[in-house]
Chains A and B, each alone.
Chain A
Amino acid sequence: MRDVKEVVEILRSTLQLGRRADSFTAETLLLGHVPEVDSMAVVAILTAIEDQYGITIDDDEMSAEVFTSVGSLSQFVDAKRGR
């Protein structure tokens, strides 16, 4: 999961978490735990990932599991980037 750090930066930026993101690790729970993660935020995160890596994400690939934790989101990004 080489992308954990980058994913934390994307979350910090799109959710405007500031220093709160400093404590984020792969184990940090997202959906249902970080109040900023609503549907608007999920779209913003997906768009930021697409923009940053120049990839396209299909909604069919999306599930609540992807947004469970920082680690699950990082794994998803890893897989999308073919690593």
Chain B
Amino acid sequence: MTAALPESTHRLELNFLQTGRGDLLATTWWPRQGQVREWLLVAPPFAEELNKSRRMLALLGQQAAVTGRGVLLVDLAGTGDSWGEFRDARYDVWLDDLLAAVHWVEGQGGTVTALLGLRCGALLAMELAQRVATVRHLLLWQPALAGSDVLTQFLRLRTVAGLTGGVEAKETQESLRRRLMQGETLEIAGYELTPELYAGVHSRQLASLVPARQVRIDWFHVARQPDAPVPEAILAAAATLAARGAAVQTHGVPGDPFWSTAEIAVCDRLLARTVACLAT
């Protein structure tokens, strides 16, 4: 298990950010020492992956305190302890929620200079960076290359139910996607996926979201084998971001896929590498 930093290096604070649509839970980790000027804002992953990742994100919030930064995790509309149900969630509203978080930081006299995007959150973080000029640094944890990949994996929760003894007739990705396109809301593993949210996620591609100004991108790929190289497909995707003007560095990190493991898992090396990147 992780040796968490002594409690005294950071302070945890919960706030509700008011938006025109409803309140959002904002979890903040503050360094105890000195004035907090720079902030790292976390763009969360999709649906159940956030629940699996909360421990890692909390540890990041604590450990990033040593760099003198504040860390802010906002539960997006329809998720966690923020307003609404999952069926109320919309991709564009999520972007607005993250912007509201940026404005909240500015209201505290701080600046969001770095974004951390986990999985689907990487797509959100890149698009947010296009809109928030103070962001210089993006840290991507196992980024989704496209929203359609996120949805394929999410819809699978239903298509594989037949394999594991579910009673539903054989459903395919194609039949589910067709029903969404025809305007039907589908329940997937307890989450109501609306056609609107489906369309919003589906239209995003990581490579097309590179900000026009130069940003630094640290891309972390977590894999079980300690000596496993970063797969070709990931290197190629990272090269595409670089070709579009970003300063990209890929990092292969040995560890478990904590966003989807059966039990809550922690990847200490990812935390250490991430904090090291934040500090330089």
Contact = CB atoms under 8 A, between A and B. Distances in A.
Contacts of B172: 59-60
Contacts of A9: 224-225
A60 B163 CA distance: 12
A9 to B, nearest CB: 5
Interface residues of A, number: 33
B183 interface: no
B109 interface: no
B163 A51 contact: no
Interface in B142-168: 142, 153, 156-157, 159-161, 163-166
B223 interface: yes
Contact of B262 (A44, A47, A51): A44
A58 B172 CA distance: 10
Interface residues of B, number: 31
Contacts of A78: none
B146 to A, nearest CB: 11
B257 A67 contact: no
Contacts of B221: 51
Contacts of B256: 13-14, 16
Contacts of A39: 157, 160-161, 163-164, 166, 189
B15 interface: no
Contacts of B228: 52
A36 B265 CA distance: 15
B231 interface: yes
Contacts of A10: 224
B263 A46 contact: no
Interface of B: 48, 142, 153, 156-157, 159-161, 163-166, 172-173, 189, 221, 223-225, 228, 231-234, 256-257, 260-263, 265
17 contacts: A14-B257, A16-B256, A16-B263, A31-B163, A32-B165, A39-B161, A40-B48, A41-B262, A42-B156, A43-B153, A46-B156, A48-B224, A54-B231, A54-B233, A54-B234, A59-B156, A59-B172
Given A14-B260, A15-B262, A44-B257, 15 more contacts: A6-B225, A13-B224, A13-B256, A16-B265, A38-B164, A39-B160, A39-B189, A40-B262, A46-B156, A51-B142, A51-B223, A51-B231, A52-B225, A58-B173, A62-B160
